Each structure stands twice: as structure tokens, then as C-alpha cells.
Structure 1
Amino acid sequence: MPLYRDEAVVLRTHKLGESDRIVTMLSRDRGQIRAVAKGVRRTASKFGARLEPFMVADIQFFEGRTLDTITQAETLGAYGGNIAADFDRYAVANVMVETAERLTTEDEPARQQYLLLVGALRSLARGEHPPGLTRDSYLLRALSLAGWAPNFSECVRCGGELPAAHGGGTALVVQLGGTVCDACAPPGSPRMSAETIALLGTLLAGEWGRAKAHGEGTRAQARGFVSAYTQWHIERGIRSLRYGH
């Protein structure tokens, strides 16, 4: 049919001509959609503000030969304003939408990725959790949905139990997908404290009360692993990870 509707979150936009934009979105039922929003850069546009990054909308499209055209847009989640008003939230949101774009494709439904991203943006806009923890939890869970779930509870090589926490820490290897026992750890493997391993597990599970109990030093260690793990599995680096903390 020439007309169709879907819920979508705006990932990014770029200019087209003098008054139009091409909008890249992740939709609930159709995966990524790239569509033209005509006239949205004019001050009199009826729905330009509804199609800014991080906004969620119920959108009507007209199918085209190359690009579809947006004909209607009704706001479902107005998250862009609150996110853009705070640098840390803005930096985190950019990491999340860039990751979502890399993990999904056009014409391939990715409903769980859509729901995860919308929930994370909603939480970020409301300031429910520290932005850095929101980002790291989102990244771990998005990668898990894509088939790259990390393991922080046992050795990823032999499946054996990890040694009790000790001064040397536990080996945590990006390339292997998580924690490694001493017998299986490659030479020179980086080691993380028991607190960092615990934080990573709570972020993956979304256990916010326990995650917030960890201090900045532990969060920084966890952040380093999450950043490296994300970029290891996504062939090109996530540019937005350069900004924020």
C-alpha cells in the first residue's frame, strides 16, 4: 500500500535542499526507515519539532521509489528538549542512537531494539539514573539483543567458576566476551576488581539500586570495558563515545 503508519524514534537528520530533511528512524515494526520530511526547516512547519533527534512519534509515510515521504507525525515521546538541555545527557543519547543505527537495518524488524532504545531515552530525559550508567546499561543490553551477550558470572572459555575475589582481580577480556578464569586467561589479560565485575553484571540486568551504589572509580573501569566491548563488536568505532564521560 502507498500509505503506512509506524511508531519510530528519530536517530538523526540531515538537510535536503533549502527546506527539507532526510530523517533516519528506528521503527517499531519495520526496522530502520529513511524518509523525506518536506518543508520541516521552515518556521511554519506543522511537525518539524516532532522529527528532531531523540523524539518518538506515530508517523504516516507515503511509499516512494527510493525514499518514502513523511505526511503526518504525532508526538509519542517528547524527549529531545530535556536531553539537549544537558550536555551529559546529550552525549549519552548520541551514543545510544548511533549504536542503534549500527545494530539495525532497513526492512528488517527490530522491535526489541526499538523498545530498549525508547525506554533508555525516556529514562535519560527524566533523569532517572546517572547518564553514564544509563549509557553503559543500554550498550550491554543492546549488544545482548544483537547476539553478543557478555558473561560476567563464569569463565567464558571453560564455563568454570571464577576464583574468589583477590587482590589481583579477575581477568576480563573484550575479545572473549567477558570474564576468564586464571587457567584460561591469555597472557597479559587485563584484570578488573570484583566491584567492577559486579557493576557490569548489575548494568546488564538493569538492577539500578545496586548499580548506583558503586563509586566513580568502579564506574570508570566498567565504562572502559563497555566502550571497548561495543567497538569490538561493531566494525566501525562509535564516534559519539569520544564525548562525555
Structure 2
Amino acid sequence: MPTYRDAAVVLRTHKLGEADRIVTMLSREHGKLRAVAKGVRRTSSKFGARLEPFGHVDIQLATGRTLDVVTQAVTLDAFGQGLIADYPRYTAGEAMLEMADRLAAEEGEPALQQYRLLVGALRVLEAGITSDGPRPPSMILDSYLLRSLAIAGYAPSFDDCARCGTVGPHQAFSPAAGGVVCENCRPAGSARPAAETLALLGALLEGDWPRTRDAEAMAVRQASGLTAAYATWHLDRNLKSLAHVER
């Protein structure tokens, strides 16, 4: 069988037969992949531990009829080792993996930007340190969620009206409308977050960590709630992992 190599982050696994697993990954060159890892549930497996969620691996696969088969796996980053002992970071990481899985819907479709964003976010989450110093796991997660949605074509607006483009700032926020809206476009039930919250959301979307340095606790909580609502609306369903994230 012909083989190929790629770098990938393991998103999830599930059992197949008595000793095998199906591994779902987000790869650099081939987007989302599902492949069979044979014998990895045996204690004698030479690469079973490398193919667990959060594993960042250099992987070789053999092309199969229905699913490709993992033939080699070399660890590039073992993000799980740094996250599993810290509940807030671990649950934030689980939400990142679930989001990546949802957004990379089509197997085999290149998703280089999503792959790079996920690897970078997991690296920051594991260290707990951004380019501007430490930040809580929930804030790192919110930045990842907003930026991954933007890459997928669902970029929210936190300044100009998302519907008519009227120059902001505006006070109302509607996930269904695509972000902040002016008074003329404001749907019923729109939220009215504090100006500090919208400024924080804009900084998280841009990955501008210095602007998040002095964020107040209320703004951080509001930003997390609005980010979750926005993600849920555009994914058409909840991210199950968000229920376990400490905010």
C-alpha cells in the first residue's frame, strides 16, 4: 500500500475491535483525518500512548480502502502531559479539540490555518503564558474559539455594525447578527455588554494580548459568556466540553 507522512494533532479516539482504535486527527497537509491504529490498546504497542488526544505527532499512514492505517508515529509535542494534571487547562484544551473537530467537517480538506492555530493555542495553554505573560486558561480558550471561527468564515464584529456596517462603537450584541449591531439593526433580545467587554473581545479576536492585561473580572466573565453563545449559534449546537470549563 502507498504511504504518506504528515504532522497532526490527535482530536479524539474510539475503540475498534479488541485491540485497535480509530484515531481522528487534524493534520497540516490533509486536514481532518481518520485512521486505524492497529494494536494500540495492547500494552506492547510501540506507539499507543502517542496517539492519545492532545498528542502532536509526525505520522506515517498507509492508504487503505476505507480508512488509512497508521504505520508510524513520532511525538512532536506531548501537550497532554502538561494539561492533564491541571483541571482548568485540561478542560479548556478539551474544548479546543472539540472545536477543531467541529470546524474541520470535511475529511481530507486542507485546513492549514486551523492546524497552526490549534497547535499554537495548545502550546500557549500548556505553558499558561502568552506573549504578554500569564493569562487564565478560559481567556486563552476564548481567544482560540473566536479566531478559529474567524478562520472558518464566521468572524464576529466588535466595532462596526455586523448587519449594515455603520461605524461603531455600538452597545448591542447579537450572535445571530454576527456581533455588535446598531440601534436600527438590533434584534429583540440582544445583549448589552459593557464597553470594556467588547474591547476585550476585540483584543482576543486579534490575539492582542497586551490589551487584555488589565481586564477586569466582570469583563472576562461577560466575554466568556458571549464567546460561548456566539460559538454555539454558528455551530448550530453546543460544545459539550464548555460545560466543564471553569470561567
- C-alpha distance in structure 2 between counterparts of 1:210 and 1:190, whole Å: 23
- Aligned-pair identity (%): 57
1:163 deviates by 5.1
> So what's the TM-score if we normalise by structure 2?
0.93
- C-alpha distance in structure 1 between counterparts of 2:156 and 2:70, whole Å: 38
1:84 deviates by 1.2
- Residue 4 of structure 1 aligns with which residue? 4
1:224 deviates by 0.8
Deviation digits for residues 54-80 of structure 1, max 9, x if unmatched?
A: 111110001111111101011111111
- C-alpha distance in structure 2 between counterparts of 1:140 and 1:205, whole Å: 9
1:235 deviates by 2.2
* Residue 148 (1) aligns with residue 154 (2): yes
Alpha-carbon RMSD across the aligned residues, in angstroms, is: 1.4
- C-alpha distance in structure 1 between counterparts of 2:120 and 2:231, whole Å: 19
- Residue 186 of structure 2 aligns with which residue? 185
1:98 deviates by 0.7
Secondary structure of 1:195's partner?
helix
- C-alpha distance in structure 2 between counterparts of 1:130 and 1:188, whole Å: 30
Distance 1:32 1:183, change over 3 A: same
- C-alpha distance in structure 2 between counterparts of 1:69 and 1:162, whole Å: 52
1:242 deviates by 1.0
Deviation digits for residues 135-159 of structure 1, max 9, x if unmatched?
A: 1000100000000100111111222
Corresponding letter in the other structure for 2:230: Y
- Residue 13 of structure 2 aligns with which residue? 13
Distance 1:36 1:152, change over 3 A: same
* Residue 160 (1) aligns with residue 166 (2): yes
Corresponding letter in the other structure for 2:109: E
How many residues are treated as equivalent by the alignment? Answer: 240
The more displaced of 23-32 and 185-194 is 185-194
Secondary structure of 1:157's partner?
coil
- C-alpha distance in structure 1 between counterparts of 2:25 and 2:50, whole Å: 12
- C-alpha distance in structure 2 between counterparts of 1:198 and 1:117, whole Å: 24
- C-alpha distance in structure 2 between counterparts of 1:50 and 1:122, whole Å: 17
Contact 2:160-2:169 at 8 Å conserved across structures: no
Query: For structure 1, which runs of at least 5 residues remain unmatched after alignment?
Result: 165-169
Contact 2:35-2:69 at 8 Å conserved across structures: yes
> So what's the TM-score if we normalise by structure 1?
0.94
Corresponding letter in the other structure for 1:144: A
What are the equivalent positions in structure 2 for 1:1-245 lying under 5 Å apart? 2-104=2-104, 105-128=106-129, 129-162=135-168, 170-245=171-246
